[in-house]
Amino acid sequence: MTSFAHHLKTIIYPETRKDNTVEEYFGTKVNDPYRWLEDDRSAETAAWVKAENKVTNAYLEQIPFRKQLKERLEKLWNYEKIGAPFIEGDFTYYFKNNGLQNHSVLYRKDVQGNETVFLDPNTFSKDGTTSLGEFAFSKDGSKMAYSISEGGSDWRKVIIMDALSRKILEDTLVDIKFSGLSWKGNEGFYYSSYEKPEGSELSAKTDQHKLYFHKLGTPQKEDKIIFGESQKRRYVGGAVTEDDRYLVITAATSTYGNELYIQDLSKADSPIVTVVADFNSDNTVIDNEGTKLLIVTDRDAPNKRIVTVDASNPKPENWKNLIPETTQVLEPTTCSGYIFAHYMKDAVSVVKQYDYSGKLVHEIQLPGLGTADGFSGKKKDKKVYYTFTNYITPGTIIALEPNSGESVIYQKSKAEFKSEEYESNQVFYTSKDGTRIPMLITHKKGLKLDGKNPTILYGYGGFNISLTPTFSIANAVWMENGGILAIPNLRGGGEYGKEWHDAGTKMQKQNVFDDFIAAAEYLIAEKYTSSDFLALRGGSNGGLLVGAVMTQRPDLAKVALPAVGVLDMLRYHTFTAGAGWAYDYGTAQDSEAMFEYLKAYSPLHNIKKGVSYPATMITTGDHDDRVVPAHSFKFAAELQSKQSGNNPVLIRIDVKAGHGAGKSVAATIQENVDIQAFTLFNMGFNSLPK
């Protein structure tokens, strides 16, 4: 290993214009010299993106092993992948990818077993930037509606087809965002959207969501607004129960807490009835038996429970426990007339099968410690499918016979990965305030604890989202090259229920950063790695995590990899759906104390001149309309202007790409190659480690 700083060309960053924009909060003036980069449609911003990408590409091109890394990643990625089957009408459908196809193809088999391509998203665009979003079949399987996303945007178009002949039935519906699709018989379907905003559709604020009904054969402009016209809600969803009896409506103003409504579709013009009238709990109808509703809720049960109530009088005071709350978080699904209660024990799956009277039928015997997903389908399904995976087990599809509880492997992964050569161990470490945090550390067997192993510490810590063990080809290649993957379950996530989530929100947000810092310190103390061989990685809310930790502890890691991050905490809520994140973050408008708290950790506002920050590669997409790229643009400009020392500060901007959903395989592989090449190169490697 040699020091390579001397033979690197000095990076000359693009000149980024500063202006004198100042915003005042509670009497405090805050400079925002790069605010012009928020205008994603200006020619000046486009020129800046191009100039930054040119510098980044020139840097990445000089990494000697980048091509070798790409060949390996492509080779390992190139195996046939098949999804779990599902039945619609007289056909069995499943997704299949022959290896390196940009998008998986939807196939179907008829009763004789003849296979045909049903829908191929690779034909949607030449460059793979248009992807399939949601899709839904009508109850008898004769009609299908599906949405497409162009350039990774959250704005979708919806196409309606006759599933039997595969003919497109009518004009495409446009301007649909954050929507499910749910059919009522064969007459039409429910969907949700916002009015298209004035100004940039990629960054303008969207906060009044409405539920519509589209009747087949009528133009979109005649679609009836069912909910959300008189009540202003940021997120509204509608779904029809499997028996076509009820429309269930959820409405929310933030990412946590929703109102719940039902409408009886068996009677014409029946009223919309309120079930839950406030935003203090999360509530979902998972099924019904006649007029009996089954509701999963965390109302008076932070770890969730399932209750039943009659639709004629569905208020919470009439709810009866069907499956009571336990010490572990419940996420139920239904299939074959059973309820499958998914629990997490220290971020690992436990699944129990109940009947509709609340009686335990089986505890599902999973093949090991990991993540089990699926167990959902129709009441009449004879088989229940689920996938099992962990950091060293590629996804395996298992078929369960629900009455006997017998499981058989339906589809083993074809990935060329030798699981038996790797190990994944859960440890518990102590955070700054004494909280015990679990972390899974995965690597090749026989690893030397000499402090010199390249290590990616990956975290999220927010929005009640749990990081559960799953296999990824990119991680497999990292570990094959001697790397360690360490993933802690930080506060702010959902691993231990509502209390754990709340402990990482608003004025407790620093706990999340402390948990991440303590994870790094644990890895260093136990000689897995040292600061010279440590990279911090996270995306979206995890991008905020990396940005906050690298500015609070610039000495902690050699490399920082914030992806599509929320990096300007004073202005995040002014873009797209950002205001919906206030449950987790609070906003700079809430109070002077909240403003001060946000400003104290906002990554953009805590970069100091003369500090040597880690080698940083920021990644984003120019069409990201979830976390707008302005966050990453401004952070990059600020960091480039203030960085001291030799560590590079690059921003890699995917053009015609969004927040990550629907990204093509080719784009995903290239991004992973660049991240791993940049990371290893900055840890001093001139060739791939063995």
pLDDT of residue 590: 96
Average pLDDT score over residue span 90-110: 96
pLDDT band at 3 (very low <50, low <70, confident <90, very high): very low
Across-strand partners of 191?
212
Indicate which residue of 149, 203, 424, 540 is catalytic.
540
25-53 pLDDT per residue, tens: 999 999 999 999 999 889 999 999 999 99
More confident residue, 520 or 205: 520
Q: For residues 53 and 629, give the distance between their C-alpha atoms in angstroms, rounded to a whole number.
A: 14
Q: What is the pLDDT of residue 478?
A: 98
Q: Which of these ranges, 533-547, 570-584, 602-616, has the smallest mean pLDDT?
A: 570-584
Q: Is the predicted pLDDT of residue 335 greater than 90, yes or no?
A: yes
Q: What is the pLDDT of residues 162-191, one digit of tens each?
A: 999 999 999 999 999 999 999 999 999 999
Taking residues 467-475, report their average pLDDT. 96
Q: What is the pLDDT of residues 262-314, one digit of tens each?
A: 999 999 999 999 999 999 999 999 999 999 999 999 999 999 999 999 999 99
pLDDT per residue as tens digits for the range 336-358: 999 999 999 999 999 999 999 99
User: Which residues, in sequence order, are CB contacts of 349 under 8 Å at separation 6+?
Assistant: 342, 343, 366, 370, 371, 372, 373, 468
CB 527 within 8 A of CB 449: yes
Summarize pLDDT for 221-264 with one digit per residue, the tens: 999 999 999 999 999 999 999 999 999 999 999 889 999 999 99
Overall average pLDDT of the 60-85 stretch: 96
DSSP, res 343: E
- List CB contacts of 197: < 8 A, sequence separation 6 or more: 204, 205, 206
Q: Which of 192, 336, 659, 664 is catalytic?
A: 659
| Cα 237 from chain centroid (whole Å) | 18
**pLDDT > 70? residue 145:** yes
Tokens linked to 511: 């706990």
Write down the pLDDT at residue 152. Answer: 80
Q: Tell me the residue type at 503.
A: A
Beta bridge partners of 425: 441
Burial class (CB in 10 A: 0-12, 13-18, 19+), 171: exposed
Q: Are strands 534-539 and 559-563 parallel, antiparallel or unpaired?
A: parallel
CA-based nearest residue to 91, from 70, 112, 66: 112
Q: Which of 45, 35, 44, 17 is nearest to 634 (CA)?
A: 35
CA distance 461 to 545: 8
Which spans in 100-221 are helix H? Answer: none
Give percent above pLDDT 70 in the chain. Answer: 98
Mean pLDDT of 187-213: 85
Compute CA 495 distance to the chain's CA centroid, rounded to the nearest angstrom: 15
Helix (H) or strand (E) holding 522: helix 510-525
CB atoms within 10 A of CB 252: 19
What integer is the mean pLDDT of 439-452?
97
Conformational region of residue 151, where left means phi above 0, alpha means psi within -120 to 50, and beta covers everything else: left
Among this protein's residues, is 501 annotated catalytic? no
Report CA-CA distances (Å) from 41 to 14, 30, 154, 630.
Answer: 19, 25, 17, 11
Summary mean pLDDT of the chain: 95
Q: Give the pLDDT confidence score for residue 9 in this predicted structure.
A: 60
171: its two tokens:
């004009």
Task: Please report the pLDDT score of residue 226 as a whole number.
Answer: 97
pLDDT value of position 4: 45
What's the CA gap between 492 and 508, in Å, rounded? 9
Is 153 among the catalytic positions?
Answer: no
Contact 336, 384 (CB under 8 A): yes
pLDDT at 477 over 90: yes
pLDDT over threshold 70, residue 592? yes
Least reliable range by pLDDT among 4-18, 608-622, 625-639 = 4-18
* Residue 204 predicted with pLDDT over 70: no
The answer to whether residues 354 and 343 touch, using CB atoms and an 8 Å cutoff, is: no
Listing DSSP states for 286-324 in one string gives EEEETTEEEEEE-TT-TT-EEEEEETTS--GGG-EEEE-
What is the distance between the alpha carbons of residues 522 and 369, in angstroms, rounded to a whole number? 23
Q: What is the pTM of this model?
A: 0.87
User: When comparing pLDDT for 623 and 164, which is higher?
Assistant: 164
SS (H, E, C) 367-394: CCCCEEEECCCCCCCCCEEEEEEECCEE
Question: At 1, is the pLDDT very low, low, confident or very high (cuts 50, 70, 90)?
Answer: very low
392-405: per-residue pLDDT in tens?
999 999 999 999 99
**pLDDT at residue 7 in the model:** 41
Looking at the DSSP assignment, which residues form a beta bridge with residue 330? 343
pLDDT class for 6, splitting at 50, 70, 90?
very low
CB of 487 closer than 8 Å to CB of 347: no
Which residues fall within 8 angstroms of residue 652, CB to CB, at 6 or more apart? 53, 56, 60, 617, 618, 619, 620, 671, 674
